[in-house]
Amino acid sequence: MNTKEAQIEIERLSNELNHHNHLYYVESNPAISDYDFDMLLNKLIELEKKFPELVSETSPTKRVGGDITKKFTSIKHRFPMLSLGNTYSREEIIEWETRIKKSIETEIEYVCELKYDGVAIGISYENGKLVKAVTRGDGNSGEDVTANVKTIKTIPLQLKGDFPTDFEIRGEIFYPINSFHKMNEERRENDEPEYANPRNLASGTLKQQDSKIVASRGLDCFLYGIYGVDLPLNNHYESVLKAKEWGFKIPVVTEKYILKTKSIDGIMEFIEYWDKQRESLPFEIDGVVLKVNNYDAQQELGFTAKSPRWAIAYKFKTERVETLLESVVFQVGRTGSITPVANLKAVQLGGTVVRRASLHNADQIEKNDLYLGDSVYVEKGGEIIPKIVGVNLEKRAAHAHKVDFIKHCPECQTELVRREGESNHFCPNEKACPPQVTGRMEHFIARKGMNIDGLGVETIDQLFQAGLVKNVADLYTLTFDQVVNLDRMADKSANNLLQSIEASKQIPYERVLFALGIRFVGETVAKKLAAKFENIDLLAQASFDELVAVDEIGERIAISVQSYFSDELHQQLIEKLKKAGVQLQGVKKEFLSNKFEGMNFVVSGVFSTFSRDELKKVIEDNGGKNVSSISAKTTYVVAGENMGPAKLEKATKLGVKILSEQEFVNFFK
């Protein structure tokens, strides 16, 4: 295939992928299977590898991320992103509507919208291509998060239809509630602090320096505000509907996410409806936004120093209830982390019955100054997680007992420790503390790990109590006679369990690594480590520098991995798993070519056409090796903008050849 043929095929694949991406994420009406979509995308990726000079900034391959941003540049807004005036009073809404009627003589239309609890964003398009995405910031200037926003699949990179040549669209980036729960579930599995609410997670994700992490988290977005000169329509509502034709995901009219009305009664009905129905939404809202529809009327009403007069936000009150703190229990996680939990007198909150609230750690208990029997105020953090936010001191009993954090493990009585720089206390008795032993087994057998059917929590407890298993490796020594004698275990179920244990020996290395339950090693980190260290022995012997050189592996993870493999108990466990036949080695990588065989590359700096991850992948796919530091063994340095002066000086001193981005592309071709 020559360059011209490749260009035609790349354009065809890009158009087809953009079409299917829009159908799936915006229209919720997929026309092909996920597998077929992935096959098309892989075909495009391979073509772009062979013809890197043909890669477009709006290519569907940009959705997977990989750009590294060391600093988010501050950019002045072309149109200031002013905040809205807030009210919690329906009387003030009536006053606002009355003032508008006095100022505007013609009939007024209003648009009612949901107030999405996320991160405000302004996205600029030129000739139908996404060129810039900027956060609200202080309203006058925001941060450039373009690379991260490009990974959000509901935001088009290339528009369709009769769009303006130069305009900005604004909206809200948010984190879907189901995805939020999934993320916190993964963090619980790794004994990491949970995120308080979807908004904080959305904001933190959008500020990630590695856009590949952003791509993996599944942010979503509604866009609903058009700004520019000589816009094709004269009112807000029709502009929003028009934006849908251009390819944007807008608030759904049929679901009543947006409504046009001419009366205060219509406004009040919208507020009342969503005050009751907001619990059913798949995303968080904290109120509704009301706007005058006509652009000329907006211009006539003008602005105050801080906000537009033609719009106002009605915020729902955070529901707070008062109930009794009956007791505090301390739970032990599989890594030994101790979590205090408040048992409350049952109370209705946000449409559900709340009986428990996490107290997180000793510092949180001290901060709230809790006593048993206190009358406490409870809210749902971000409408999701119940939390104690205060105490009614007037109701505290004279002889109430202060809640103190325990000093010994509630399960095995081992003295607790608190590691430097961490907020949680831990039980160090990893070998014999029952919840830790059984918790690691539960993690090991889970669907994302070894996927062993027939082993539930009760069965694991029975095996442990009977002394049949003391660690996960012991599962592979179980016999039929041992298993069949367990409660509720017949011949057939015993055979099925043993067959499932045997089948787990074929689970790939990266999932075994995740199943081991190394602290801070989730699914993504396990894949990264397995790709870099092709067997468990290489990983166990890896130095700190070798670990942190791996993408997404920071100091905390590196220390945790080294600590795990330095423990004699874990070394014995790995040897038992090896003897059992568990996969502790990856499949040997197939290379596209051996062009870079025997060559060591250092990729440093910021690149204009490719991300560092993309360059590194080309090197590895063609037999080369990426290294983190320059030495006499380094073959080439691929240097982008802002490459560190120390690296440049060292490469020059050692006589290492330095390639620019274009020189690397030419060299590869």
User: Tokens in use for 333?
Assistant: 């996680």
φ, ψ for residue 33, nearest 5 deg: -75, 160
Catalytic site residue 71?
A: no
Q: CA-CA distances (angstroms) from residue 531 to 97, 139, 206, 441?
A: 61, 43, 26, 25
Query: Strand, coil or helix: what is 120?
Result: strand
Whether the Cβ atoms of residue 325 and residue 355 lie closer than 8 Å to each other: no
For residue 342, the SS3 value is strand
Backbone Cα Rg of the chain: 29
Secondary-structure breakdown of the chain: helix, strand, coil percentages, each rounded to the nearest 5: 40, 20, 40
The amino acid sitting at 605 is G
Q: Are residues 332 and 436 in contact, defined by beta-carbon separation less than 8 angstroms? A: yes
- SS3 string of 167-195? EEEEEEEECCHHHHHHHHHHHHHCCCCCC
With contact defined as beta carbons under 8 Å apart, do 169 and 236 qualify?
Answer: no
Alpha-helix residue ranges (DSSP H) falling in 535-627: 536-541, 544-548, 555-566, 568-580, 612-621
Can you spell out the DSSP letters for 597-618?
A: TT-EEEEESB-SSS-HHHHHHH
Using DSSP's 3-state secondary structure scheme, residue 496 falls into: helix
3-state SS record for 504-525: HHHCCHHHHHHHCCCCCCCHHH
Under 8 Å between Cβ of 324 and 373: yes
- Classify residue 651 as exposed, middle or buried by CB count within 10 Å of its CB (0-12, 13-18, 19+): buried
The residue behind tokens 């919690």 is 88
Do strands 375-381 and 600-604 pair parallel, antiparallel, or not at all (unpaired)? Answer: unpaired
CA distance 98 to 16: 51
Task: Count other Cβ atoms within 10 Å, centred on residue 452.
Answer: 22
Residue 386 to residue 401: CA distance in whole angstroms = 23
Q: Which of 62, 115, 291, 528 is catalytic?
A: 115
Residues catalogued as catalytic? 115
